[in-house]
């Protein structure tokens, strides 16, 4: 085999855990490593995919009890990091706009069942 040709490009996909540690500062040692990782990456070297953005929103709202306004600010901060690129940035910006427009009303998290159900079949 001949390995003298150009090296293939490796895509680096940003992980939710790195962003959670970066924004929460918890645990401190992991937060420091996340900060170092994000600040030392080359510009646009880390890909933010939709699923990671969705997981970040879920974790910050459900586990860390962050209000929607804080979460939207953090999403914008992710997009502003020099190392981060997002191929679906227009969609993510639209999502952030919708989240802001909804304000403080709770987002539905489950199916709303009718108040009265049919009786079970015998």
Does residue 110 lie in a domain region? no
Q: What is the mean predicted confidence (pLDDT) over 18-47?
A: 96
The verdict on residue 109 lying in a domain is no
Rg (CA), the chain: 20
Residue 77 domain-assigned (yes or no) = yes
Task: Label residue 114 by pLDDT band (50, 70, 90).
Answer: very low
- On whether residue 55 sits in a domain, the answer given is yes
Contact between 67 and 104 (Cβ < 8 Å): yes
pTM for this entry:
0.76
Is residue 62 assigned to a domain?
yes
55 contacts 16 by C-beta, under 8 angstroms: yes
Q: Is 63 exposed, middle or buried (0-12, 13-18, 19+ CB in 10 A)?
A: exposed
User: Out of 23-27, 88-92, 102-106, which region has the weakest mean confidence (pLDDT)?
Assistant: 102-106
Alpha-helical (H) ranges within the chain are 16-24, 28-40, 50-62, 68-80, 89-102
Question: What pLDDT is attached to residue 106?
Answer: 52
The residues with which 13 forms a beta bridge, in sequence order, are 47
**Is residue 114 situated within a structural domain?**
no
- Give me the domain span that covers residue 19: 12-102
């Amino acid at each position: 085999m001949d390995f003298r040709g150009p090296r293939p490009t490796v895509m680096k996909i940003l992980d939710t855990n790195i962003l959670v540690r970066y924004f929460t500062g918890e645990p401190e040692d992991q937060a420091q490593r996340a900060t170092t990782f994000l600040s030392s990456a080359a510009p646009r070297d880390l890909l933010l995919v939709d699923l990671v953005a969705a997981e970040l929103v879920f974790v910050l709202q459900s586990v860390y009890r962050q209000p929607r306004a804080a979460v939207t600010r953090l999403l914008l901060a992710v997009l502003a990091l020099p190392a981060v690129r997002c191929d679906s940035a227009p969609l993510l910006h639209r999502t952030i706009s919708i989240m802001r427009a909804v304000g403080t009303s709770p987002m539905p998290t489950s199916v709303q069942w009718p108040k009265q159900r049919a009786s079970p079949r015998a």
